[in-house]
Amino acid sequence: MVIAPIYCDRCGHSPYSWRRDANTIGDFAGQGKNKGKDVMKPKNSSTQLRALVVDDDRVIQKTHEGLLKKVGVKNHTAVENGKKAVDLHCNGERFDLILIDKDMPVMNGIEATKKLRSMGICNRIVGVSSLCDTENIQQFLLAGIDEYYKKPLTVKTLKAILDNIES
């Protein structure tokens, strides 16, 4: 299993974000090398993307919604726990990007990510949490998130995430 840390531009010491290597963690988690590849068609611009913010903190919800607007994502929804995110998908809603917190009431981000992946949701799921110890990050990555970032996100970080979706 390969988990690659990305260090903070400012201090260079503590891991700011983590990415999983889809080929190694996918195999480790029993998902196969090509699970989810070529499922999502590229979009022409971020204005066409649909985003879901899953966080129990209203301030973080509003912050991330504001950042999404700032980078051009006009179609976004926010819910306060993983169960509501899963329910939206069960009711036919689809999102190109899911920004999900790890620790929430009712259903946490790990449980919700596992459930979404088991439902065949292959779109980009980005873990966004204040927890940044290696054990918690590995649990989150093994649940099926594509990337992990320390919250709150920044415009620069969100643009990088969107560039990965649009390419």
The amino acid occupying position 10 is R
The per-residue pLDDT of the chain, averaged, comes to 77
Average pLDDT for residues 104-121, to the nearest whole number?
A: 94
Alpha helices of 2-154 — where are they, by DSSP H?
Answer: 22-28, 58-70, 82-90, 109-118, 134-143
pLDDT digits (tens, 9 = 90+) for 76-98: 999 999 999 999 999 999 999 99
Rg (Cα) of the chain, in Å, rounded?
A: 15
In this structure, the number of other CB atoms found within 10 A of the CB of residue 37 comes to 11
pLDDT digits (tens, 9 = 90+) for 2-34: 444 444 443 343 344 444 444 433 333 333 444
**3-class SS of residue 5:** strand
pLDDT digits (tens, 9 = 90+) for 141-158: 999 999 999 888 999 999
Q: Name beta bridge partners: 52.
A: 77, 98
The CATH number for 13-35+44-166, chosen from 3.40.1280.10, 3.40.50.1100, 3.50.50.60, 3.40.50.2300, is 3.40.50.2300
Q: Strand 50-54 to strand 97-100: parallel, antiparallel, or no bridges (unpaired)?
A: parallel
